[in-house]
Amino acid sequence: MGNTFGKLFKITTFGESHGKALGAILEGCPAGLELDEEKIRLEMQRRKPGQSKITTQRKEEDEIEILSGVFEGKTTGTPIGIVIRNADQKSKDYTHIADKFRPSHADFTYFEKYGIRDYRGGGRSSARETAARVAGGAIAKQFLATQGITVQAYVSQVGELTLQKNYQELSLDLAEDNIVRCPDPEMADQMISLIDSVRLDRDTIGGVVSCVIKNTPAGLGEPVFDRLHAELGKAMLSINAVKGFEYGSGFEGVKMRGSLHNDAIVKEGDKVKTLTNHSGGIQGGISNGEDIYFRVAFKPVATIMQDQESINEAGEAVTVSGKGRHDPCVVPRAVPIVEAMAALVIADYLLLSKTNKLAQL
Ligand SMILES: Cc1cc2nc3c(=O)[nH]c(=O)nc-3n(C[C@H](O)[C@H](O)[C@H](O)COP(=O)(O)O)c2cc1C
Ligand SMILES: C=C(O[C@@H]1CC(C(=O)O)=C[C@@H](OP(=O)(O)O)[C@H]1O)C(=O)O
């Protein structure tokens, strides 16, 4: 239960942070897709630990091995199996808390649910699992590219430092030029300094990842429970440390009047478009062909190198302090994870059918 995502374009992940390997099984990817393995590797590099001074220092190359589902560079329509081997586990960093629960990590809740403690590096609850999602998402992205659809995310907030410009006012490609993945170079420098100073304080800080999906056709999404934004929300909220999701005008929209918030509809040649896009590209749970954009809020990382009040498995009061390699802020590495999950949702809904019009079935 809970290890598979998607209806037709499905991903299942397996593996633990300090086990032998992680991996993904991707089902439903159409046959005949020319797969560029280098592009999958590039996505893995963007997410991997140890990539800069503002991420966890665990050193993993996150090399992928494709075991099945691809022949002569093309997908065959059969399940695509991908494995990523762990190389730099340091389970010793966790022995001092083997029977203690880290505040706000998943130690207590996993123990309550399963009664078994895989204390090595957080086990399955470690965000190391997202390596497998990024591998699968990189394939979804290549599928979307055949339809001209792009997914691009970037860091728009760290702590109180907030990018005031929206995505249309930014050159999003600049995000990959700095280690925090913010497309505004000045703001990026400030964010990097902030994360670094928080790290030196043995503390952690949260942030926001913004994402935009372009060239989605109108008609993706189902009208009631499986609304496209509900599915995107579920995908984002399934990522470790996520605390909030908003799309389009989001929470800010409540301050506006309908007269200003409504997106006027016009026809330009053959194309129907809206003059503004407070809807975030989705109305009634169905894409309208405009850009889909949303924001994802990440909390400060739970494992901090400071004494914290907690209990052990026997229910006794204890003091817990983190050891080892942890992210002072997750957002720089969360960017490719957000893109991967978004790509998986859009790929799934593309397969689920664009239209219910009899003439087009
Ligand atoms: C990219 C990424 C890196 C993370 N790195 C760490 C980390 O180094 N240490 C940690 O305690 N939590 C880290 N987390 C968060 C935990 O995985 C997460 O807090 C934990 O699974 C509990 O789940 P919850 O916070 O969603 O309730 C990271 C999350 C992401 C997305
Ligand atoms: C190893 C990765 O990040 C890890 C995410 C994580 C957590 O609790 O989420 C805890 C730390 O690792 P470990 O599980 O070894 O303690 C991070 O280094 C990775 O993303 O590949």
Centre of ligand 2 to C-alpha 193, Å, is 22
Residue closest by Cα to atom 14 of ligand 2: 121
Bind-site residues: 47, 53, 124-126, 240-241, 284, 299-303, 325
What's the confidence (pLDDT) of residue 30?
Answer: 94
- CB of 324 within 6 A of ligand 2: the answer is yes
* Digit-coded pLDDT (tens) for 6-42: 999 999 999 999 999 999 999 999 999 999 999 999 9
Q: Which of 18, 57, 94, 325 to mutate to test the pocket of ligand 2 (most atoms within 8 A of CB)?
A: 325
Query: If DSSP codes are grouped into helix, strand and coil, which group holds residue 244?
Result: strand
Query: If DSSP codes are grouped into helix, strand and coil, which group holds residue 250?
Result: helix
What's the confidence (pLDDT) of residue 356?
Answer: 65
CATH hierarchy code of domain 4-360: 3.60.150.10
What's the confidence (pLDDT) of residue 349?
Answer: 96
What's the confidence (pLDDT) of residue 133?
Answer: 98
Residue 131 amino acid letter: A
Closest CA to 332 of 124, 125, 157: 157
What's the confidence (pLDDT) of residue 119?
Answer: 84
Half-sphere exposure in the Cβ direction for 282 (13 Å, CA): 25
Taking the CA of 332 as reference, the closest ligand is 1
Cα–Cα distance list, 268 to 219, 265, 274 (Å): 19, 10, 10
Bind-site residues for FMN: 124-126, 240-241, 284, 299-303, 325
- CB of 325 within 6 A of ligand 2: the answer is yes
Alpha-carbon distance of 345 to 7, in angstroms, equals 9
Centre of ligand 2 to C-alpha 326, Å, is 6
Alpha-carbon distance of 310 to 330, in angstroms, equals 23
Centre of ligand 2 to C-alpha 228, Å, is 30
- CB of 334 within 6 A of ligand 1: the answer is yes
Centre of ligand 2 to C-alpha 61, Å, is 14
Alpha-carbon distance of 217 to 350, in angstroms, equals 9
**Positions of E strands within the chain:** 4-5, 10-15, 21-27, 65-66, 70-71, 74-75, 80-85, 150-158, 161-162, 207-214, 242-247, 265-268, 271-274, 282-283, 286-287, 292-298, 308-311, 317-320
What's the confidence (pLDDT) of residue 359?
Answer: 62
Residue 275 amino acid letter: L
Closest CA to 229 of 353, 146, 349: 349
Place of tokens 């309550």: 112
Q: Give the global pTM.
A: 0.98
- Ligand 1 atom showing the smallest separation from residue 322 Cα: 11
For residue 49, give both structure tokens: 């630990």
Domain ranges for the chain = 4-360
Q: Which residues contact 312 (CB under 8 A, 6 or more apart)?
A: 99, 100, 101, 318
Cα–Cα distance list, 343 to 6, 57, 120, 137, 292 (Å): 11, 28, 31, 6, 12
In this structure, are residues 84 and 131 in contact, taking their beta carbons and an 8 Å threshold?
Answer: yes
Tell me how many degrees the CA angle 289-213-193 measures, rounded to the nearest 5: 150
Centre of ligand 2 to C-alpha 107, Å, is 14
In this structure, are residues 331 and 241 in contact, taking their beta carbons and an 8 Å threshold?
Answer: no
What's the confidence (pLDDT) of residue 1?
Answer: 85
What's the confidence (pLDDT) of residue 121?
Answer: 83
DSSP secondary structure code for residue 129 in this structure: G
Residues of the chain with pLDDT under 70: 354-361
- CB of 56 within 6 A of ligand 2: the answer is yes
Centre of ligand 2 to C-alpha 77, Å, is 33
SS3 content of the chain, % helix, strand, coil (to 5): 35, 25, 45
Helix/strand/coil (H/E/C) assignment for every residue in 167-232: HHHCCHHHHHHCCCCCCCHHHHHHHHHHHHHHHHCCCCCCEEEEEEEECCCCCCCCCCCCCHHHHH
